[in-house]
A and B are shown apart, each in its own frame.
Chain A
Amino acid sequence: MGELKLMKGNEALAEAAIRAGADAYFGYPITPQSEVLEYLANHAEKRTGMVILQAESEIAAINMIYGAGGTGKKVMTSSSSPGISLMQEGLSYIACSEIPCLLANVVRGGPGLGTIQPGQSDYLQATKGGGHGDYKLIVLAPASIQEMVDFVKLGFDLAFKYRNPVMILTDGVLGQMMEKVELFDQIPRSKEIPRWATVGKPPTRERNIMTSLNLQPEPMEKHNEHLQAKYREIEKNEVRVETIDCDGADYIFTAFGLTARICTKAAQLAKAKGIKVGLIRPITVYPFPYEAYAKYATKVKGFFDVEMNAGQMLEDVKLGVLGKAPVEFYGRMGGMIPTPEEVFKAFEEKFLGGKA
């Protein structure tokens, strides 16, 4: 068993980065995730020699990630919604150049400067590309501090397996709250140099180039096809989903991240009243577990999607259900967190005519 600790989400994420053998972190302060940079500044270099640099902006940070990631190193950044918006151009370049890297979005309510309170309103930005052009991030949505830790390791593995940026899509509550976590043992920093890395060209190989540019449309389309084939491969191999009590359920609640925790409580309230409720929690929100919904679409009376936004994952849920069952939605916005009681009440109103 690994070391047990009571840790704040952002600090656990940072600790996991050190233990995962990350080579570098480039970031810029923004609430509610500044503890990641603070924790790393305090602990990382002396423990593993990991490079920690506070950049002058999120734009600079993501481009430092591009540069350092292009050398084949394990690199990471984190930010919160407005900062992640600033990184979108860089992410598009990184995805196109196929540079592995890990980033965490500790989401706060938007739009605009919004609030420093938690949100899930960056779902579409995270899962549908976010920047310009056809590309995808692999997006992991933790629902506990334990998953914040585990997904750092998983995230780096997936990033290198597919040469693709991976995002941990979390939120201000998971970033700030404390929970017991089991930490994995220190993984040594890798000395391996990937064959594609730009580390200086020895006479024995062709030069390595990191670029997203192709002025000729024919090879650019070919590269797009290559990327799309990779995304299909990711969709085939990497879907992760948790389903609870869905077999025999009359209704299925669905939510990702923090709201899934809230829905677990709301489902208990339903069960106490004799209503058979299951839960589908997408763990990867890209690739999305459409099949989990399709599987139950003809068996349940309805799906109830709960999010801290105006209904973003809802579009994917509906694509999974494909009109075979009613899908209702309840959301809070602008940094508000729904309580289990209000989720249950909304469920009653939408599906049970107001009374269980």
Chain B
Amino acid sequence: MSDTMQVAENLVYKKPKTLLDVAMHYCPGCGHSTTHKILCEVIDELNIQSEVVGVAPVGCSVIAYNYLDIDMQEAPHGRASAVATGIKRVLPEKLVFSYQGDGDLAAIGTGETLHTCNRGENILIIFINNGIYGMTGGQMAPTTLENMKSTTTPFGRDVKKMGYPIKMTELVAHLPGTYYVTRQSVHTPANVRKTKAAIKKGFEYQRLNKGTCFIEVVSNCPSNWKMTPIDSNKWLVENMLPFYPLGDIKVPSKEEN
């Protein structure tokens, strides 16, 4: 294909090499595709394609391995960080990441997430939080906001009955096993750049063997929020970010680096 393609002389942007040239199944405007792209840009820029092993979850990103030109494993629902632990323990010199949604990481996989972080596994966990179950069609997630509607909370999440939205990122930041914990988003170009920088750090820190790097990406779900992509980003700013504020939660101290 590239044989026949004209390469512009003034090319300022191109698709990352590690991102496969295939149609994605993600809905238009979904944060997953953006996050995949910057993950691939980081892999290209750090030139680590041959060192990376990724773990896909169950959820919308279940077939992430169809888009990334790297070795990957697809884990049972919630177990991505345990699978990543297994890989990293036998391949300590490789760079291992898991890519998980909020249902996967914060509901069915809470135990694995906490214990992986508590053991300080030298892996990178990328956590996409859009406050809803996307793949199964918009049910309540552990991260669904108070009063937020979903197909299983049709009148809004009543926290007295359904419990409170859980802040996994703050939770894991408390654990001595985590090394770098941050919450980012991909709803504006500036935020995309910040998230990319965080992912880059996540891989760079992994080489130091100092513990788990945990990056939450507050994201959207236009289809199940039943909004246009633009409206969903607005809704994210007005509703998600006040409850899930962006920024670093735990950073390595200066002396360490």
A contact residues vs B (CB 8 Å cutoff): 23-24, 26, 51, 53, 55-57, 59-61, 63-71, 73, 75, 89-90, 93, 97, 198-203, 207-213, 215
Contacts and interface: CB of A to CB of B under 8 A. Distances in A.
A56 B116 CA distance: 9
A51 B115 contact: no
B71 A66 contact: no
Contacts of B94: 199-200
Given A56-B111, A66-B83, A209 B73 contact: yes
Nearest to A214: B63
B245 interface: no
A73 B70 contact: no
Nearest to B93: A200
Contact of B90 (A24, A56, A89, A90): A24
A61 B85 CA distance: 10
Given A57-B111, A60-B79, A63-B76, A213 B62 contact: yes
B52 A200 contact: yes
B73 A56 contact: no
Contact of A63 (B56, B71, B86, B95): B86
B63 A71 contact: no
B82 interface: yes
A212 B74 contact: yes
Given A60-B111, A199-B53, A200-B52, A51 B89 contact: yes
Contacts of A66: 73, 75-76, 79, 83, 86
A208 B53 CA distance: 10
B82 A200 contact: no
Interface in B42-83: 49-53, 55-56, 62-63, 65, 68-76, 79, 82-83
Interface in B191-222: none
B74 A65 contact: no
B73 A210 contact: yes
Interface residues of B, number: 35
Contact of A67 (B49, B50, B69, B87): B87
Contacts of B86: 24, 26, 63-70, 75
Contact of B72 (A23, A69, A210): A210
Contacts of B68: 207
7 contacts: A53-B89, A57-B111, A61-B82, A63-B112, A90-B76, A207-B71, A213-B62
A201 B71 contact: yes
Given A66-B83, A71-B53, A209-B65, A198 B71 contact: yes
B114 to A, nearest CB: 8
Contacts of A90: 76, 79
A200 B51 CA distance: 5
B91 interface: yes
Contacts of B69: 201, 207
Closest 8 CB pairs of A and B: A67-B86, A64-B86, A68-B86, A67-B83, A63-B82, A211-B74, A63-B79, A198-B71
Contacts of B168: none
A77 to B, nearest CB: 10
Contact of A70 (B50, B51, B73, B112): B73
Contacts of A24: 86, 89-90
Contacts of A209: 65, 71-74
B65 A211 contact: yes
Given A55-B115, A60-B79, A97-B73, 11 more contacts: A59-B112, A63-B86, A66-B75, A67-B83, A67-B88, A68-B87, A199-B91, A200-B49, A211-B72, A211-B73, A211-B74
Given A71-B87, A75-B90, A200-B53, A60 B82 contact: yes
